[in-house]
Amino acid sequence: MPFTESQVVLRLRGIRKSYAAPVLRDVDLDIAAGQVHALIGANGAGKSTLSRIISGLASPDAGTMVLSGEAYAPRNKAGAESRGVHIVQQELNLVPTLSVAENLFLNRLPHRCGVLRRRELRDRACGALAMVGLAGTVDPDTPVSQLGVGHQQLVEIAAALSHDCRVLILDEPTAALTDPQIDLLFEHLRRLRAAGVAILYISHRMDELRRIVDHATILRDGDVVCTAPMNHLTAEEIVRQLTGKEIQRESHHCARQRGEIALQVDRLSRDGVLHDVSFEVREGEIFGIAGLVGSGRTELLRAIFGADVADRGGVHLGGAAEGVRFREPRHAVKAGLAMIPEDRRQHGLLMPQPVLSNVTLGNLRRFASWWGRIRARRERDSAQHFCRAMDVHYQGLDQRADQLSGGNQQKVVIARWLLRDSRVYLFDEPTRGIDVSAKATVYHLLNELAGQGKAVVFVSSEMRELLEICDRIGVMSAGRMTAVFRRGEWNQEKILHAALSGYSR
């Protein structure tokens, strides 16, 4: 749907922003009432920076903004909110020690003569939580630090939805959400759209963009390269615009020589979570794990790695007759396992530290001379090599990790584990939150690892990518592995059937 001049709510002209290098160059953007407008671009293209400028969290170096016909130059977040512009940021921004209710109404706590009206706060919080399907699940008095990432994300969304918005910005809101939670969010967005709110939506997931977006603007290296109604853009066109390259559809699967059994999981169980899960992965093999959200995929990897301790069963590494149950990840690492966790930004990075130490963290022994001195040159070369392999978009190894874009922070964590040189790699959703071309980089890497004779376990919610690169796929359902398929034996229907079968026992 193209929109008319009179529908434009927010108009940006010539917006420029540089940090050490230019991040946004003369960006023009019109956002219309009653439309969902997507901002699409590779990791580091400038999407979050632009949304921070619109919501008063950063100021542009040049350019003008007009909101509903009047000049708009918010000095801070409160200034933007007073004009009806609200944002859900890419990274979580709640105050962990405060309760859910206090976080929801942080700067507008109900009071009478300075005395907090607890009852009213609670009621209003329940109303806000209901909008995101959390009423009855999350108590408004719980401290936010006790919530999982998905619930924290929903609390942030609820906080934004509970305002009267004219413009609502959502920067990758669904990264930690399950499918039903996404459905509920979209229902709300449709309602807001119908009420005339202008929504700016940022996501790397094509399926989501297709479902909810009316109009799209594509950014490449801080330049607007295309703006068009969503239904005029094919997937190929989007990829071409955001990378600036013609991408050939290539097959990512490679036939490889398999070696010995590298990892054997034997009846691994955790009460109420995992039930007798057994499978094995050979050297040179990519073993995919499919399943619905909540089926126990992440829990399985955590139990193998010792992040959670299994109750029964064990894992055998490198053909060992004796099974072990790791009680701590460091024991697993010592035994040659690596795990790239799902929420890499939460569990993976030392934010104020430079990229260099984030990559070499925990690996320093590799660069030590025999008397223990760290050979700095070697450390830097090696970090650089793996950042290049992951195609990290950064200014240099000394840049602080918190200055990288969200997707590039994720790539740094993956680079760290690659540097470690393990025998078995457990990847939990490695392509979530990273752009299309970086996804191809990850596929390439998994293949390369397998080509070097490593065993790779690959959890993904995207069936397409599992089918594309795995040698075998195990399917989790309600904490059990209900089927294992070989390449050639599988199809989507069989996998889906297995993914549901555990729930009907």
Ligand X SMILES: Nc1ncnc2c1ncn2[C@@H]1O[C@H](COP(=O)(O)OP(=O)(O)OP(=O)(O)O)[C@@H](O)[C@H]1O
Backbone phi and psi for residue 256, each to the nearest 5 degrees, phi listed first: -140, 160
Contact call for residue 19 and ligand X (CB under 6 A) = yes
- Which of these ranges, 124-132, 278-286, 406-414, 460-468, lies near ligand X under the rule CB under 6 A? 406-414
Query: What backbone torsions phi and psi does residue 253 show, to the nearest 5 degrees?
Result: -90, 135
Does 49 help bind ligand X (rule: CB under 6 A)? Answer: yes
Q: Which is nearer to ligand X, 65 or 131 (CB)?
A: 65
Exposed/middle/buried for residue 164 (C-beta within 10 Å: 0-12, 13-18, 19+): exposed
Place of tokens 């795990």: 339
Please choose, out of 238-246, 351-359, 360-368, 399-407, the segment that lies near ligand X by the rule CB under 6 A: 399-407
Please identify, using beta-carbon distances, which residue of 167 and 218 lies nearer to ligand X.
218
Q: Which amino acid is at 336?
A: G
| Token duo for residue 106 | 């942080």
User: Which distant-in-sequence residues (6+ apart) come within 8 Å of 218 by Cβ?
Assistant: 40, 41, 224, 225, 226, 227, 238, 241, 242
Q: How far is the CB of 407 from ligand X (least distance, A)?
A: 3
Least distance to Mg ion, CB of residue 63, Å: 19
Measured from the CB of residue 360, what is the shortest distance to ligand X in angstroms?
20
Q: Residues 6 or more apart from 301 whose CB is under 8 A from it?
A: 289, 307, 339, 426, 428, 457, 459
Note the Cα 315 to chain centre separation in Å. 29
With binding defined as CB under 6 A, does residue 431 bind ligand X?
no
- Strand order of the β-sheet with 62-67 is 22-32, 8-18, 62-67, 70-71
In one letter, which amino acid is 44?
Answer: G
Q: Which helix (H) or strand (E) holds 291?
A: strand 286-291
Asked whether position 397 contacts ligand X by CB under 6 A, the answer is no
- CA distances 3 to 173, 325, 407, Å, are 25, 60, 31
Size of the site for ligand X (CB under 6 A): 18
360 binds Mg ion per the rule CB under 5 A: no
Question: Does 406 contact ligand X by CB under 6 A?
Answer: yes
Q: Among residues 70, 75, 128, which one has the least CA distance to residue 102?
A: 128
Euclidean distance between CA atoms 111 and 91, whole angstroms: 30
Rounded-to-integer distance, Cα 144 and Cα 151, Å: 9
**One-character DSSP codes across 168-225:** EEEESTTTT--HHHHHHHHHHHHHHHHTT-EEEEE-S-HHHHHHH-SEEEEEETTEEE
Least gap, CB of 91 to ligand X (angstroms): 9
- Which segment (83-91, 144-152, 322-330, 420-428) binds Mg ion by CB under 5 A? 83-91
- Tokens 């459905």 locate to 183
224 forms part of the interface with ligand X (CB under 6 A): no
**x/- letters, 21..50, toward Mg ion (CB under 5 A):** ---------------------------x--
CB of 341 to ligand X, least distance (A): 18
- 43 binding ligand X? (CB under 6 A): yes
- Binding of residue 41 to ligand X (CB under 6 A): yes
Looking at 152-160, 307-315, 402-410, 440-448, which segment touches ligand X (CB under 6 A)?
402-410
Does 407 help bind ligand X (rule: CB under 6 A)?
Answer: yes
In the bound complex, what is the minimum distance in angstroms from residue 392's beta carbon to ligand X? 10
Residue 266, CA atoms < 13 Å, CB-side half-sphere:
16
Instruction: In angstroms, give the least distance from the CB of 202 to Mg ion.
Output: 7
Binds ligand X by CB under 6 A, chosen from 332, 404, 459, 498? 404
CB of 296 to ligand X, least distance (A): 29
Work out what residue 153 binds among ligand X, Mg ion, none; the CB cut-off runs from 5 to 8 Å by kind: none
Taking the complex as a whole, how short is the minimal distance between the CB of residue 77 and Mg ion, in angstroms?
A: 17
- Closest approach of ligand X to the CB of residue 433, in Å: 7
Determine if 408 is a binding residue for Mg ion (CB under 5 A): no
- With CB atoms as reference, the residue minimizing the distance to ligand X is 407
Residue 45 interacting with ligand X (CB under 6 A): yes
Can you tell me whether residue 245 is helix, strand or coil? coil
Give the span between the Cα atoms of 123 and 299, in whole angstroms: 35
Identified binder of Mg ion from the candidate list 35, 55, 89, 90, rule CB under 5 A: 90
Please pick, from the candidates 35, 48, 174, 264, the single residue that binds ligand X as defined by CB under 6 A.
Answer: 48
Least distance (Å) from ligand X to the CB of residue 60?
13
Q: Hey, which residues does 483 pair with through a beta bridge?
A: 475
Query: Quick one: which of 474, 488, 423, 468 has its CA closest to 254?
Result: 468
Determine if 348 is a binding residue for ligand X (CB under 6 A).
no
Distances from the Cα of 228 to the Cα of 3, 234, 238, 242, 274, angstroms: 10, 11, 11, 14, 47
Q: What is the closest distance, in whole angstroms, from the C-beta atom of residue 21 to ligand X in the complex?
A: 7
Q: Which range in 82-90, 143-151, 173-181, 459-467 contacts Mg ion by CB under 5 A?
A: 82-90
Pattern 87-126, ligand X, x by CB under 6 A: ---x------------------------------------
Which is closer to ligand X, CB of 142 or CB of 357?
357
Contacts with Mg ion by CB under 5 A lie at 48, 90, 405-406
Binding site for ligand X (CB under 6 A): 19, 23, 41, 43-49, 90, 393, 403-408
